[in-house]
């Protein structure tokens, strides 16, 4: 598969992988999303490994070919281990894939990447 254009993608900046977060509070999950030739129109965040999704708050105006910052207020649950993920959709309706495209070799890593966190009291 030739690399022709940047694929739609969202990435979590905070929390970091393996971060410990306080239970029963609020945590601002945030990151950036990008795509080529279009604008980011939606970012969703999952706090249960992709079983359910909530819409993030997009920052700034939608601009083609530009990064878009986002944030998601997570009401942290009871203590335990959780997997956070983010996925983006662009203004053409293209959504970030959940699975890695095995035909892409070691490039075009644009699938949803898990961020594992531990919630403690």
The CATH class of the 9-96+116-120 domain is mainly beta
State the pLDDT at residue 6.
Answer: 78
Q: Which residue has the tokens 């649950």?
A: 77
pTM, entire model: 0.89
Q: How far apart are CA 71 and CA 94, in angstroms?
A: 20
Is residue 81 within 8 Å of 115, Cβ to Cβ?
Answer: no
Is residue 84 within 8 Å of 12, Cβ to Cβ?
Answer: yes
Q: Which residue has the tokens 């309706």?
A: 93
Q: Which residues contact 85 (CB under 8 A, 6 or more apart)?
A: 12, 45, 46, 49, 50, 112, 113, 114, 115
**Token reading at 102:** 């095995």
Q: Map out the domains of the chain as residue ranges.
A: 9-96+116-120
From first to last of the 121 residues of the chain, give the pLDDT tens digit.
455 677 899 999 999 999 999 999 999 999 999 998 899 999 999 999 999 999 999 999 998 888 999 999 999 999 999 999 999 999 999 999 877 666 666 566 678 899 999 999 9
State the pLDDT at residue 105.
Answer: 62
């Amino acid at each position: 598969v030739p690399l022709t254009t940047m694929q739609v993608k969202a990435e979590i900046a905070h929390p970091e992988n393996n971060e410990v977060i306080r239970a029963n509070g609020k945590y601002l999950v945030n990151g950036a999303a990008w795509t080529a030739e279009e604008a980011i129109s939606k970012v969703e965040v999952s706090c249960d490994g992709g079983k359910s999704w909530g819409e993030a708050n997009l920052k700034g105006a939608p601009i083609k070919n530009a990064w878009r910052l986002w944030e998601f207020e997570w009401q942290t649950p009871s203590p335990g281990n959780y997997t956070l993920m983010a996925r983006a959709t662009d203004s053409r309706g293209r959504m970030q894939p959940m699975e890695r495209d095995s035909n892409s070799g070691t490039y075009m890593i644009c699938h949803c990447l898990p961020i594992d966190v531990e919630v403690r009291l």
